[in-house]
Amino acid sequence: MPAFEIIVAVAKDNVIGYKGQLPWGHLPRDLKHFRDITTGHSNSSIIIGYNTLNSLCRMFRRRTNLLPGRKIYVLTHDLQKMERFPDCIGVSNIDSIVRLGTRSRIFVAGGESIYHQFISLPQTRVVHMTRIIANYHGDTFFPLLPLNEWRSKKEEFHPSDEKNKHAMQFVTLMRA
Ligand SMILES: NC(=O)c1ccc[n+]([C@@H]2O[C@H](COP(=O)([O-])OP(=O)(O)OC[C@H]3O[C@@H](n4cnc5c(N)ncnc54)[C@H](OP(=O)(O)O)[C@@H]3O)[C@@H](O)[C@H]2O)c1
């Protein structure tokens, strides 16, 4: 059985998205954090939902080479839609992901529907959470984590600066 690591950025009240985008726009420190965590292993896979794939394409303004060095698995019920994304692997159900080998690190990177499905799996052991210190209106949210099931192992604070309009905290949570 593979183990899953969730990676997510949340604003206050667990807001993660609005109208298919990240509500806070561009925060280079968090993007670098995402890259640092998900690369540098011999074999990294990223799991996302179809809406998040579209959100990434809009953000990078391209459909290929979205997350270099990482294999992207996209959950969708309609695999035909994946023909437009030659670099990504379409997957039509969560069981195929659960059957993935254990040789790679597998990061679950959103959006809301995907986080909800993976957070309750016992194989999901780690949550890499960026807490963005800001209020945003949102239409998609990260699930509330029961405090008795998750323990914070590492917390790192970064103030805002000229390139990052919000302060943020990188938190690593482990299943208790
Ligand atoms: N802050 C963050 O860290 C972060 C990270 C990622 C995303 N986001 C945000 O989250 C929002 C998107 O979240 P979302 O919940 O709307 O969309 P999503 O989870 O990215 O994608 C949902 C889609 O995934 C497919 N899907 C989900 N579960 C499936 C399953 N079990 N089997 C097959 N297909 C499945 C379906 O696609 P089909 O309709 O094609 O079948 C579904 O419509 C955006 O605003 C994005 O910017 C934020």
Domains of the chain: 4-175 (3.40.430.10)
* Whole-number pLDDT of residue 154: 92
- The DSSP symbol for 70 reads E
* Whole-number pLDDT of residue 149: 94
Compute the distance between CA of residue 62 and CA of residue 162 in angstroms, rounded to an integer: 27
Residue 2 above 90 pLDDT?
no
Separation of CA 115 and ligand 1 centre (Å): 8
Taking CA atoms only, the protein residue closest to ligand 1 atom 21 is 49
* Whole-number pLDDT of residue 5: 96
- Nearest Cα to 70, choosing from 35, 95, 102, 94? 35
Separation of CA 109 and ligand 1 centre (Å): 9
With tokens 């270099």, the residue in question is 68
**Beta-sheet pairing, 124-132 with 4-10:** parallel
Give the mean model confidence (pLDDT) for residues 5-34.
Answer: 97
> Residues enclosing ligand 1, CB less than 6 A?
8-9, 16-17, 20-22, 48-52, 55, 75-78, 92-94, 109-114, 117, 140
Taking CA atoms only, the protein residue closest to ligand 1 atom 7 is 111
Residue 42 above 80 pLDDT?
no
| Selected residue with higher pLDDT from 104 and 137 | 137
User: Which band of pLDDT confidence, cut at 50, 70 and 90, is reported for residue 103?
Assistant: confident
Residue 40 above 80 pLDDT?
no
Segment among 37-41, 97-101, 110-114 with least mean pLDDT: 97-101
Taking CA atoms only, the protein residue closest to ligand 1 atom 24 is 49
* Whole-number pLDDT of residue 147: 86
On average, the pLDDT of the chain sits at: 94
Separation of CA 53 and ligand 1 centre (Å): 8
DSSP string, 11-64: -GGGEEEBTTB-TT---HHHHHHHHHHHSSSSSEEEEEEHHHHHHHHHHHT-SS
Residue 13 above 80 pLDDT?
yes
- The DSSP symbol for 122 reads T
Give the mean model confidence (pLDDT) for residues 112-127.
Answer: 96
Quick count: other Cβ atoms within 10 Å of Cβ 152?
Answer: 13
Separation of CA 162 and ligand 1 centre (Å): 31
% of the chain exceeding 70 in pLDDT: 98
What digits encode the pLDDT tens for the residues 58-101?
A: 999 999 999 999 999 999 999 999 999 999 999 999 988 887 76
Compute the distance between CA of residue 65 and CA of residue 86 in angstroms, rounded to an integer: 9
Task: Write the CB contacts of 36 (distance below 8 Å, at least 6 apart in sequence).
Answer: none
pTM, two decimal places: 0.97
Separation of CA 68 and ligand 1 centre (Å): 21
User: Which band of pLDDT confidence, cut at 50, 70 and 90, is reported for residue 166?
Assistant: very high
